[in-house]
Amino acid sequence: MARPTSVFVCQECGAVYPKWSGRCDACLAWNTLIEEAAAADGHPGRERGHARRLAFVPLDGEGGPLARRGTGLDELDRVTGGGLVPGSAILIGGDPGIGKSTLLLQVAARLSGSMTAVYISGEEAIGQLRLRATRLGVRTAPVQLAAATAVNEIAASLDVAKAADVVVIDSIQTMFIDGLESAPGTVAQVRASAQALIRIAKRRGFVLLLVGHVTKEGTIAGPRVLEHMVDAVLYFEGERGHQFRILRAVKNRFGPTDEIGVFEMTDAGLQEVRNPSALFLAERESQVPGSAVFAGIEGTRPVLVEIQALIAPSPLGTPRRTVVGWDSGRLAMLLAVLEARCGMSFGAADVFLNVAGGFRVAEPAADLAVAAAIVSAASGNALPPDTVVFGEVGLAGEVRAVARADARLKEAAKLGFTQAILPSRRAPADGTLDMRLHRVGLLSELLTTLKP
Ligand code: TYD
Ligand code: MG
């Protein structure tokens, strides 16, 4: 009898069934059976009596640092930790239309000068890809193109020696494997397709770049399992209405995960942004109440962003707290500290907070800048001109020291800022920079500092 090409696996307990059913007989969970490709050759170790013995090697053996392939795009190299590692698989996730295909076609074009770069699209026809390449100014780059969705065909083409050095699959949700009944984009298909492609990448030593669309819930469509299968996961983010895009590593087996790469979407594709602070602050009105510039750190790099607050009398019984680009729980905490320690009151006011330009701030060091924006909005007095703010705020109203104050100040000085409001604890000594430093130890001192 022919072996079945697929089986149904309970995602809760792992029990395997030849047919689908609504409930797993083993753990009694409902709706957990998912179709998967049956293993072609079973488990070799279990079937054969004597498996091949492993050849163990010492930990301190040969093999220095990983040979990486620089892409020529500094922002991408920074996020990957110095370039692409041969034989590794990288997932690039992001909302539809954010620019994933654009980025990867540009990367493939750059790399094609020195190595074999393959771009396989399951979403666009060859003509469309060529049109985009023309727009990006890379029409003559020797990229190998294919429009395909059948993983078996792709595997047959790539699973030969020296077929490619870097392979882009755009996108993993359009790929499918023969023998699985489920449609492309389903958990089973995405997982089986990725598994097959990653296996070939490891065997043939090429870099595999998988595009993955993000669902409404914010995860890469289909399964989280995809994130476990690959070596690195990069998210491409940005607000649709804004021109800049941020590439962020959320997992990286070969490098750091706190670096960001900043790009700007232009008429001719993505341009690297060498100085993100200048871009984020480009449209700032400095003498408006409720605006503060936060000197933040993203990865190894200082980044200045504008934080805006607006406070308005609330017509509602429960006033609104609206936050864009920051944590709403953290805003609630800061408002409570301002009420308890500084005698302010927000009980009858709507509070709106916005990190300008669509950037997302995650550092606690932004507390003091947010507080400054709120205090300024409430009082109607603008902050002193050319001032940056940073510091963490505790529940007792104390302003805590934050890491890398020097780097923050240096970046601010570089962009022409002349004053800083910062924690008094472990603050850098005066005189090293040509800046006026206002040190605050308690949040209440911030109010005095901001009095005109
Ligand atoms: P795309 O790379 O197709 O997004 P994804 O693959 O993530 O779905 O990007 C599409 C958007 O980018 C589209 O709205 C047009 C815009 N765009 C530019 O602004 N400039 C360009 O040079 C290109 C190629 C696209
Ligand atoms: Mg695309």
Of residues 7 and 221, the one with the higher pLDDT is 7
For residue 124, what pLDDT band results from cuts at 50, 70 and 90?
Answer: very high
CB 37 within 8 A of CB 177: yes
pLDDT band at 221 (very low <50, low <70, confident <90, very high): low
Residue 22 and residue 112 share a domain? no
Give the tens place of pLDDT for each residue, 75-108.
Answer: 999 899 889 999 999 999 988 889 999 999 999 9
Residues 107 and 33 in one domain: no
Q: Which of 274, 295, 319 is the last residue of a domain?
A: 274
- Asked whether residue 53 is assigned to any structural domain, the reply reads no
Query: 354: domain CATH number?
Result: 3.30.230.10
With a cut of 50, say whether residue 56 has pLDDT above it: yes
For residue 103, the ligand closest to its alpha carbon is 1
Query: Please, what is the average pLDDT of the chain?
Result: 87
Is residue 58 in some structural domain? no
By the 10 Å C-beta count (0-12 exposed, 13-18 middle, 19+ buried), 311 is classed as: buried
pLDDT, tens digit, 9 for 90 and up, residues 303-343: 899 999 999 999 888 999 999 989 999 999 999 999 999 99
- Residues 358, 266 share a domain: no
- Residues 299 and 227 grouped into a single domain: no
More reliable by pLDDT, 411 or 103: 103
Structure tokens at 159: 């699973």
Please check whether residue 372 lies inside any domain of the structure: yes
* pLDDT at res. 414: 85
Structure tokens of 6?
Answer: 């697929």
- Ion ligand 2: protein residues whose beta carbon lies under 5 Å: 101
212-220 long-range contacts (CB < 8 A, ≥24 apart) are 212/91, 212/92, 212/93, 212/171, 212/172, 212/173, 213/93, 213/94, 213/95, 213/96, 213/171, 213/173, 214/93, 214/94, 214/95, 220/91, 220/93
354 lines ligand 1 (CB under 6 A): no
Considering the domain boundaries, does residue 49 fall inside one?
no
CATH number, domain of 228, equals 3.40.50.300
Tally Cβ neighbours within 10 Å of residue 374: 24
Domain end, chosen from 274, 304, 339, is at 274
Does residue 247 sit in the same domain as residue 382?
A: no
Please, what is the angle between helix 187-204 and helix 151-158, to 10°? 0
Closest residue (by CA) to atom 17 of ligand 1?
A: 269
Query: What backbone phi and psi angles, to 5 degrees, belong to 333?
Result: -65, -45
Q: Are residues 288 and 425 in the same domain?
A: yes
Q: Rounded CA gap, 290 and 351, in Å? A: 11
Q: Is 26 found in the same domain as 106?
A: no
Q: What is the DSSP letter of 30?
A: B
Q: Is the residue at 167 inside a domain?
A: yes
Do 17 and 151 lie in a common domain?
no
| 201 vs 86: CA distance, rounded Å | 8
Tell me the per-residue pLDDT of 176-219, one tens digit each, with 9 for 90 and over: 998 887 788 777 888 889 999 999 999 999 999 999 988 766 66
**Which residue's alpha carbon is nearest to atom 10 within ligand 1?**
97
Output the CA 35–ligand 1 centroid distance in Å. Answer: 34
Residue 176 bridge partners (DSSP)? 150
Residues 33, 178 within the same domain: no
Ligand 1 mutation pick, 120, 209, 265, max ligand atoms within 8 A of CB = 265
| pLDDT value at 223 more than 70 | no
Judge if pTM exceeds 0.90: no
Query: Does residue 1 belong to any structural domain of this protein?
Result: no
Q: How far is the CA of 124 from the centre of ligand 1 (A)?
A: 12
R_g (Cα) of the chain, nearest Å? 27
The whole domain housing 103 covers 74-274
Q: Which of 274, 299, 315 is the last residue of a domain?
A: 274
Is the pLDDT reported for residue 110 higher than 60?
A: yes
- Asked whether residue 65 is assigned to any structural domain, the reply reads no
Burial of 305 (0-12, 13-18, 19+ CB in 10 A): buried
Look-up of token digits 């620019």: 99
Residue located nearest, by CA, to atom 15 of ligand 1: 97
How many structural domains is the chain composed of? 3
ipTM comes to 0.97
Domain identity same for 332 and 191? no
The pLDDT score that the predictor gives to residue 43 is 47
Tens of pLDDT, residue by residue over 250-293, are 899 988 887 888 899 999 999 998 888 887 787 787 788 999 99
The pLDDT of residue 445: 94
| Cα 98 to ligand 2 centroid, rounded to whole Å | 8
Inside any domain, residue 249: yes
- Nearest-CA residue for ligand 1 atom 14 is 97
- Could you tell me if 257 and 109 lie in one domain? yes
CA of 130 to the centre of ligand 1 (A): 14
* 293 and 221 in a common domain: no
